[in-house]
Amino acid sequence: MNSILTETEKNMGSGRKVVLIMTDTQRKDMLGCYGNKDMKTPNLDKLAEQGVRFEKAYCCQPVCGPARAALFTGIYPHSSGSWGNSMALGDNVKTIGQRFADNGIHCAYIGKWHLDGGDYFGVGRCPEGWDENYWYDMRSYLEELSEKDRVRSRLPKTNEEDLSEDFLYGHRVSDKAIDFIGKNTDEDFLLVVSYDEPHHPYLCPKRFIDMYKGYEFPKSPNIWDRLDDKPEHHKAWSGDACKGDKDSLKLDAYTYFLACNSYVDYEIGRVMEAIEKNAPDALVIYTTDHGDMMNSHSIGGKGAAMYEEITNVPLIVKCPEVASKGSASESLISHIDIVPTMMDFMDVEIPSILEGTTVLEAFEDPDVFINDEIFIEFGRYEVDHDGFGGFQPIRCCRDSRYKLVINLLASDELYDLEEDSYEMKNLINSEEHAKIRDGLHDKLLEWMNRTRDPFRGYYWERRPWRKDAKDASWSYTGMTRQRENEEYEPRQLDYSTGLEITEAQRKK
């Protein structure tokens, strides 16, 4: 572990503060600092000027709950049990709040949680490890409102009023975060500020809506994708949209969405002011859970696809003692790396059960490359609802140039992101790219095995294009991989002997 804290800093507690700020459904090109100068996001742009902007950061699953599961546990959705919305974390899965609290660090989570198995709003109960006085999920907010105001808070048409800031969830989240920062300057802390904005229902004061009246979001080349060489479930998702007249298509239906995007930037600015005043040496990490397709590839929303629009997320990091100011990094970063990185920064031992790695060195030097590849998955969008494609098992491996996507129930994908950044040409059957494709496939299979993916099996290897795939085998690799959660559980026992395991991974 590479801690950057001096002994003096450790004793004083200064430098042992982390603020993780996140939004919901925010594409990279919805921020000015990522190149779209039409976007009015001055506070996030300022944060980028003060820190490091990562160009190749990825969520672990492009759906709200599973994305958060990885971000706050350090293990993949398939490991935590939360691989679809409204699927709770497993009882023996520990969040970063629990791990930090057990190491004497004050932890507060303010905002959308989405990990307790409840519906969109949650159950309103503070999980273990987090400060109950600052717990404020979306159910907490709704319970503050009258029945009439609850309904108003869920309707985009409420924007026809000139909403006061005090009515909005985002504003109340910021107020509580600012209060926490001001009252805890003398102790080590982790603060998570988790906005629901700019997600539907897109509520915000009128002045932000006025910024985008009549504005058309820029069309990218993949708006014209007819999905001819794409997986079958993408075509089902698109419906007739891929047959429409894309030349005359206007992306002007996003006024409220983009307005709310600028509104949440304003709220983030309020929190950043409090950080600069009371905790200027804090490690500040900003990201989002996933993006939105916004008609790219003739589909909308997010879900069972690995396209850049929904998986390649904004990530900006600021720490005066660490990061080179105003720089951009091409280093591959996954949300799975955020928990071990925060533990490294806070000088807390990183447990073996975590499935990512610390990337603190990349925060310090943007030219450092730590990951050769990152992995993304998909299982189900929403367990409580029909629709959204149902069960769509997908696994993805992305290296510095190529992206391989295995759609278990459909056809597969390979993209050269250097030559085809908009993912228009599917190279999965290209003999010219067979060696690259198979190499990524091998890494993907190894990752599934290493992380105890419960959906692993011979069928992921036996794809139509994989000429050297082994025959179907009931025993598959013949390996066993027992969980190592020894900070909280006794060491597991070997089935054959009843004695403590000496190797977690071994032939069985």
**Active-site residue, 200 included:** no
Band the pLDDT of 212: cuts 50, 70, 90.
very high
How many other β-carbons are positioned within 10 Å of the β-carbon of residue 284?
Answer: 24
Q: Contact 119/137 with Cβ under 8 angstroms?
A: no
- pLDDT for 201 beyond 80: yes
Task: List the beta bridge partners of residue 189.
Answer: 17, 106
pLDDT in tens, 224-238: 999 999 999 999 999
Q: Which of 33, 59, 107, 114 is catalytic?
A: 114
SS3 477: coil
Predicted local confidence at residue 14, as pLDDT: 52
Q: Which of 64, 204, 242, 396 is catalytic?
A: 64
CATH number of 12-371: 3.40.720.10
pLDDT in tens, 8-48: 344 344 559 999 999 999 999 999 999 999 999 999 999 99
Torsion, Cα of 143, 144, 147, 153 (10° steps): -100
Q: Contact 271/210 with Cβ under 8 angstroms?
A: no
CA distance linking residue 301 with residue 155, whole number of Å: 18
Q: List phi, psi (to 5°) of 9.
A: -65, -40
CA distance linking residue 375 with residue 76, whole number of Å: 9
**Active-site residue, 260 included:** no
Greater pLDDT, 5 or 455: 455
Predicted local confidence at residue 3, as pLDDT: 39
From 263, 290, 219, 370, select the one nearest 62 (Cα to Cα). Answer: 290
Band the pLDDT of 181: cuts 50, 70, 90.
very high
CA distance linking residue 448 with residue 478, whole number of Å: 14
Predicted local confidence at residue 60, as pLDDT: 98
Residue type, 409: L
**What is the helix, strand, coil percentage profile of the chain, to 5?**
35, 15, 50
- pLDDT for 320 beyond 90: no
Class of domain 380-507: alpha beta
Q: What residue ranges do the domains of the chain occupy?
A: 12-371, 380-507
Q: Contact 466/438 with Cβ under 8 angstroms?
A: yes
CA distance linking residue 417 with residue 400, whole number of Å: 9
List all residues 6 or more positions away from 312 whose beta carbon is below 8 Å from its beta carbon. Answer: 28, 56, 57, 58, 291
Q: How far is CA 56 from the centre of its chain?
A: 13
How many other β-carbons are positioned within 10 Å of the β-carbon of residue 135?
Answer: 19
Predicted local confidence at residue 325, as pLDDT: 85
From 385, 396, 400, select the one nearest 447 (Cα to Cα). Answer: 396
pLDDT in tens, 246-265: 999 989 999 999 999 999 99
Q: Contact 68/114 with Cβ under 8 angstroms?
A: yes
Q: List phi, psi (to 5°) of 32.
A: -60, -40
The share of the chain scoring above pLDDT 70, in percent, equals: 97
User: pTM, whole model, 2 decimals?
Assistant: 0.95
Q: SS3 for 59-118, per residue?
A: CCCCCHHHHHHHHHHCCCHHHHCCCCECCCCCCCCCCHHHHHHCCCCEEEEEECCCCCCC
SS3 28: helix
CA distance linking residue 194 with residue 109, whole number of Å: 8
Burial class (CB in 10 A: 0-12, 13-18, 19+), 416: middle
Q: Contact 402/415 with Cβ under 8 angstroms?
A: yes
Which range is least confidently modeled, 187-191, 346-350, 364-368, 490-494?
364-368
From 326, 262, 312, 315, select the one nearest 284 (Cα to Cα). Answer: 315
List all residues 6 or more positions away from 359 whose beta carbon is below 8 Å from its beta carbon. Answer: 331, 333, 337, 341, 370, 371
